[in-house]
Amino acid sequence: MATFSDIAGRLEQQAIELPSWAFGNSGTRFKVFATPGTPRTVQEKLADAAKVHELTGLAPSVALHIPWDRVDDFDKLRLFAEDLGVRLGTVNSNTFQDDDYKFGSLTHVDERIRAKAIAHQLECIEIMDFTGSRDLKIWLPDGTNYPGQGDLRGRQDRLADSLQQVYARLGEHQRLVLEYKFFEPAFYATDVPDWGTSLVQCLALGERAVVCLDTGHHAPGTNIEFIVMQLLRLGRLGAFDFNSRFYADDDLIVGAADPFQLFRILYEVVRGGGYGPDSDVAFMLDQCHNVEDKVPGQIRSVLNVQEMTARALMVDRDALVEAERAGDVLGGNGVLMDAFYTDVRADLADWRVSRGLPADPMKAYTVSGYQEQIVADRVGGTQAGWGA
C-alpha cells in the first residue's frame, strides 16, 4: 500500500466547488430554520465561501443558482469574487419554483411554457459568458404523479428537443451538465430519474453534454460506485454533487451516513481517471445545513472529501490485480479495507501546515471570530434561503 508521502503531491490537485445556496437558510419540506449570521446577498455568500477556502485550500470556486443569485452586473460580481480569492463556477438553472412549471418545464406539453423554460436556460448561458463559467447544470423537477397524467414518451421527446435548443447556444468551452433524481417532487414517473436517462439524452446532444451524479439521488442499496465506473468508462461523468443521506435526498454533510461508500466512490474516481489534472470531472457539494452552522458545515464537508480521497489514492492497485488473477477474494477485499482503515488525519494536518494552512480548519474557524462577526454585522435585511 502506498504511504501518505507517496500520494501527498496528488492532493494539491483537489478542488471542490461550494454551492452558494448552502450558506443560506435551507432545510426540509416541513421547516427551514433561520440562523443568525446568514447571508442576505450573494456577495455575503461569496465571503463565507472565501472563508472556507482560506482555511482549507480546497474550495477555489462557488456555484451560483439563478434566479437566487441574480445581480444586475455579473462582470462586477466576478471581480468581487476574485478579490476575495475565489472564482464563480457552475451556473445552476431553476425551473422548479414558478407556477407555470406545475406540470413540467422543458418537457411541458404547452409550447409557451416550454419556450419560457428554454429561455431561462439561455439566460443562464448568457450569465456564464460574463462569469467565465464552464458548466450549465440542469436539474428538472419534471414528471408525473399518476399513470395517465402524461405521455411518457412524448415528454422524453420534448425534453430532447428542449435540450438540443439549449445545447446549440453553448460556447465552445462550455458544457451542459444534466443531473438526475429518481423521485421527488414527481412520484410516479420523473422525466430524468436515473443515470441511464441522463446519459441517453446527453449522447444525443454531443460531447459537451455530460452527466451529473448527485450522491443522494439513488434508491437505497444502489451501487453508486458502479455508476461512477460506467460513466467514467464512457467519458460522460461530468460532475459530482457530493452530499450524504440516510433515507432519500437528505442533502447532509458528505460522508456523514456512510464514509465507506464515499471511499468506494472516490476509489473508482481515482482508478477510472476522474481525478487529477487530466480530468474534466468537477467535484461539487450540494447540501443544506438546517440545524448546523453553514460555514463549518461546508468546512467539514470538504475535509471529508479530502480525507477519503487520500485513502483512495493509497490503495495498492497492483495488489488488487494480483488478487483478482489468483481468485483471492478475501485478499482483494483486504487490500481495499487496509486503505480505508488507514488514519490519515494527522498526516493531513501536517500537510496543511506545510502549505500555510491551519492544521485543524474547524478549530481555526471557531477561534477566528468570523462567526461572531457575521452574526453582529448581518442584522436586518432579508436572509438568503431556499427559494430566495
Distance CA(66)–CA(179), nearest Å, equals 16
The pLDDT tens digits for 313-324 are 999 999 999 999
The pLDDT tens digits for 206-234 are 999 999 999 999 999 999 999 999 999 99
Distance CA(133)–CA(88), nearest Å, equals 7
The pLDDT tens digits for 99-135 are 999 999 999 999 999 999 999 999 999 999 999 999 9
Q: What's the average model confidence in pLDDT over 145-163?
A: 98
Beta bridge partners of 213: 240
Residue 388 has pLDDT above 80, yes or no: no
Q: What's the average model confidence in pLDDT over 158-177?
A: 98
Residue 7 has pLDDT above 90, yes or no: yes
Q: Which CATH architecture has domain 12-377?
A: Alpha-Beta Barrel (3.20)
Q: Tell how many helices (H) and how many strands (E) occur in the chain.
A: 14, 10
pTM above 0.95, yes or no: yes
pLDDT at 78: 98
Per DSSP, the three-state class of 313 is: helix
Domain ranges of the chain: 12-377
CA 379 to chain CA mean position, Å: 30
Backbone angles phi, psi at 297, to 5 degrees: -65, -40
Q: 83 pLDDT band (50/70/90 cuts)?
A: very high
Backbone angles phi, psi at 92, to 5 degrees: -100, 130
Q: Where are the alpha helices (DSSP H) in the chain?
A: 4-7, 42-56, 74-84, 111-131, 152-167, 195-205, 224-233, 259-271, 294-313, 317-326, 329-340, 345-354, 361-368, 370-377
- Using an 8 Å Cβ cutoff, are 253 and 244 in contact? yes
Q: What's the DSSP call for residue 6?
A: H
Q: 263 pLDDT band (50/70/90 cuts)?
A: very high
Q: What's the DSSP call for residue 253?
A: P
